[in-house]
Amino acid sequence: MTASRDRARMVERQLRARGIEDERVLAAMGEVPREEFVPELLRDRAYTDMALPIEEEQTISQPWIVAAICQAMELEGSELVLEVGTGSGYSAVVLSRLVSHVVTVERHELLSREARERVAALGAANVELAVGDGSLGVPERAPFDAIAVHATAPAPPPALVGQLAEGGRLVVPLEAGDADVLTLYRREGDRLEAEPITPCRFVPLIGEGGFES
């Protein structure tokens, strides 16, 4: 009951009150038990408005950032979505309630394995997990209607841009001095239209289309 109450409070105070208006996103965030995705010692902080550390020196993003990424992708329910950076698996499970199918890629095998267990336990059968260089996408599953990147890149990774469907949306944090900038790109033919969303802070995107390790 405590977690359910904390989750409802998170939705109203952290998300709706700060500009998350997509009711489908709010509902998904209100359904997924975030406490199942954080280390046991941090479960009492699962619904605080902050990122939390997980294994492999990675993080689970603060709830507002997860919701903002989902809202920016303008999801209606029938989409095939690529997620780069599975991490704990939390965002993938939230997305599973918003789209037809999620392909999520993680470069750390341990994180992917543990995320797989959580995804299965929560019955998110439309989530497909893979291990590899997420900056290269998953070309054999493209094109994607939307792509969410949970790590800061120096620029939109070319491989991901190439795997966007016409009219597709790419949400990616970009390196920008003291703070990264979460940015939405829309593909219109050969053009990318950019729209900044918010300052943010993510771990770096390591890979061929990101930064060197």
Report the SS3 class of residue 48.
coil
Q: Please name the residues in contact with 180: beta carbons below 8 A apart, sequence gap of 6 or more.
A: 152, 173, 174, 199, 200, 201, 202
Q: Please name the residues in contact with 118: beta carbons below 8 A apart, sequence gap of 6 or more.
A: 36, 37, 88, 89, 93
**Does the active-site annotation cover 61?**
yes
Q: What are the φ/ψ torsions at residue 168 (nearest 5 degrees)?
A: -70, 160
Give the integer Cα–Cα distance in Å for 92 and 103.
8
Q: What are the φ/ψ torsions at residue 29 (nearest 5 degrees)?
A: -65, -30
Q: Which of 4, 61, 96, 135 is catalytic?
A: 61
Amino acid of residue 83: E
Q: What are the φ/ψ torsions at residue 48 (nearest 5 degrees)?
A: -75, 160
Active site residues: 61
